[in-house]
Homo-oligomer: A and B are copies of this chain.
């Protein structure tokens, strides 16, 4: 193919995605704050860049996959940032989950520098990133979307153009708010059932039919394993972004607001680095029961 991708942020998600980009025949210039994570991609054929600027240097595409709006600003802007390294016409594709305003601001800055910009957050978790089956929800112009499509096709399966800049982010926040609500419903139902004497394993088996995320998160709760698939603190960040988006759109979201407060309680308990399902422990503590495999 002969095209070069500057890939910035090759952690749990980004690393798996970059491997699929390499497999598809792109040259990859990988950068990560913890540089060892970029080094890990060398055997697959990546070159390692010392800074976001270096990763962007000469690239046809820059892909960013970082934690939040401030991390995104940190890798795009400034003397060592990707914007500074891009040649004219490079298409910058942010695949992180940020708020619509951040996407719009960054896109404006890119445009001012003669660059193109697409937001393209993903859904599907590490498993989907590994297998190249994530869903990608892009926001930006038709032209940039068409240009990015082959590259995105190497990363995900369902590649959707949601609308103009910012709408990809709204779609992602909407998807994550629904997940947070489902996980909370599982937590409430599971603790209710456990306290009522039911076998938690049987309950998870039944509830897993309701939503795939319960099929993934439920068995881990049964095992008392709260290692993060999606960390609570990131889920809460997205829930807060969704609450803010709903507020400015003028849409009351009563159940999401309750979910957010249960997350606040779990964060206060120190569960931020654990999986978003860690909220179940707040209810378990209050109810005096544990929903574990017997």
Contacts and interface: CB of A to CB of B under 8 A. Distances in A.
A202 B260 CA distance: 26
A286 B286 CA distance: 10
B254 A160 contact: no
Interface in A173-199: 174-175, 177-179, 181-182, 184-186, 188-193, 195-199
Contacts of A202: 160, 162, 171
Given A171-B193, A192-B242, A198-B171, A254 B249 contact: no
A251 B163 contact: no
State how many copies of this chain the complex holds.
4
A34 interface: no
Given A205-B160, A210-B211, A283 B174 contact: no
Nearest to A284: B251
B261 A254 contact: yes
B137 A195 contact: no
A251 B174 contact: no
A269 B252 CA distance: 11
A240 interface: yes
A40 to B, nearest CB: 30
Contacts of A210: 175, 178-179, 182, 211-213
Contacts of A262: 252, 254-255
Contact of A167 (B197, B246, B251, B259): B197
Interface in A154-178: 160, 162-164, 167, 170-171, 174-175, 177-178
Instruction: Pick from A170, A251, A268 the residue with the most CB of B within 10 Å.
Output: A251
Instruction: Pick from A123, A193, A258 the residue with the most CB of B within 10 Å.
Output: A193
A163 B198 CA distance: 7
Interface string A186-227: 101111110111110011011101111110000000000000
A55 interface: no
B283 A264 contact: no
A247 interface: yes
A135 B198 CA distance: 17
A257 interface: yes
A209 B212 CA distance: 8
A71 interface: no
A13 interface: no
Contact of A257 (B193, B249, B261): B261
A88 interface: no
- Top 8 nearest A-B pairs (CB, nearest first) are A181-B185, A250-B268, A211-B211, A252-B265, A257-B257, A174-B189, A195-B249, A188-B253
